[in-house]
Amino acid sequence: MAATTESVRADAAEAPLLNKKNMILGSLLYVVFYAWVRWYEGIYGWSAGLDSFAPEFETYWMNFLYIEFVLEVSTAGILWGYIWKTRDRKVMSITPREELRRHFTHWTWLVMYAFAIYYGASYFTEQDGTWHQTIVRDTDFTPSHIIEFYLSYPIYIITGGACFLYAKTRLPTYQQGLHLQYMVAVVGPFMILPNVGLNEWGHTFWFMEELFVAPLHYGFVFFGWAALGVMGVVNTEVIAIAKLLKKDLA
């Protein structure tokens, strides 16, 4: 009886398999933050973002750029450093339940990656198209670029890196080496950021017109394909989770 009571207490005190609070707070963080960013663009894009030589451009846009650079580097350093520093050195000896819990946490990270990729590759990238169709650029650091290239892309890189690091440091499934498709899914979209160098260099030759399907942009396309690597991650996860649940679902 005493042992049963203790077991029930232990169950009650045990962390949930899926921490829904983290999932909701994480999702809200992306959605609310990007809603605020979109509001900022709407207000200061038109009022302060048309002439890069104007003092208000420096105030509202270049300062935004400098602040985001600092925050992104610090966030990446702290987050990735924390995940690495707190890694499990006995990852192969965890209990199946703990492994299942970690798979849920891993999927919480992957859901955040989904938000981050959506905003970066879909929302802010196509938005950049309509901005360039409307405003003739006089700088590489247009309002849409300051958000798209230098905010939303680093955010998905930071999130993707965190997913990969979490899996590598906490899950037995990923201990046999480096998961090729996972690396492609994270490193490929990461390469879109360095490809901005090619893009901006190309645009120094012409800037009055905008053609979104121009071959200059195909670097983004090639690295965008890498997002499909998520299918390899899904397959690996399905195999791992099925192995954990097989006995109980039979």
Partner 1 sequence: MSASQSAVRSRAEAVKVSRTFDWLILFTLFFVVLGGYHIHYMLTGGDWDFWTDWKDRRLWVTVAPIVSITFPAAVQAVLWWRYRLPFGAVVCILGLLLGEWINRYMNFWGWTYFPVNFCFPSNLMPGAIVLDVVLMLTNSMTITAVIGGMAYGLLFYPGNWPIMAPLHVPVEYNGMMMTLADLQGYHYVRTGTPEYIRMVEKGTLRTFGKDVAPVSAFFSAFVSILIYFLWHFFGKWFGGTSFTQSS
63, 122, 194, 201: which one contacts partner 1 (CB under 8 A)?
122
57, 64, 99, 154: which one contacts partner 1 (CB under 8 A)?
99
Q: Which of 193, 174, 56, 49 is nearest to 106 (CA)?
A: 174
7 binds partner 1 (CB under 8 A): no
Cα dihedral sign for 44, 46, 49, 52? Answer: negative
36, 130, 138, 197: which one contacts partner 1 (CB under 8 A)?
130
| Of 66 and 218, CB closest to partner 1 | 218
Count of residues near partner 1 by CB under 8 A: 82
Q: Which stretch binds partner 1 (CB under 8 A): 54-62, 64-72, 81-89, 106-114?
A: 106-114
79 binds partner 1 (CB under 8 A): no
- SS3 for 94? coil
97 binds partner 1 (CB under 8 A): yes
Shortest Å, Cβ 33 to partner 1: 16
47, 63, 74, 133: which one contacts partner 1 (CB under 8 A)?
133
Shortest Å, Cβ 66 to partner 1: 23
The two three-digit tokens of residue 240, written as one number: 């791992």
Rounded Cα distance between 106 and 143, Å, is 34
In the region spanning residues 172 to 231, those forming contacts with partner 1, defined by CB under 8 A, are: 172, 176-181, 183-185, 189, 192, 208-213, 217-218, 220-221, 224-231
| Of 80 and 107, CB closest to partner 1 | 107
CB-hemisphere CA count at 13 Å for 231?
Answer: 4
Q: Answer whether 134's CB lies under 8 Å from 101's CB.
A: no
Residue span 34-73 as binding mask against partner 1, x where in contact by CB under 8 A, dash where not:
----x--xx--x----------------------------
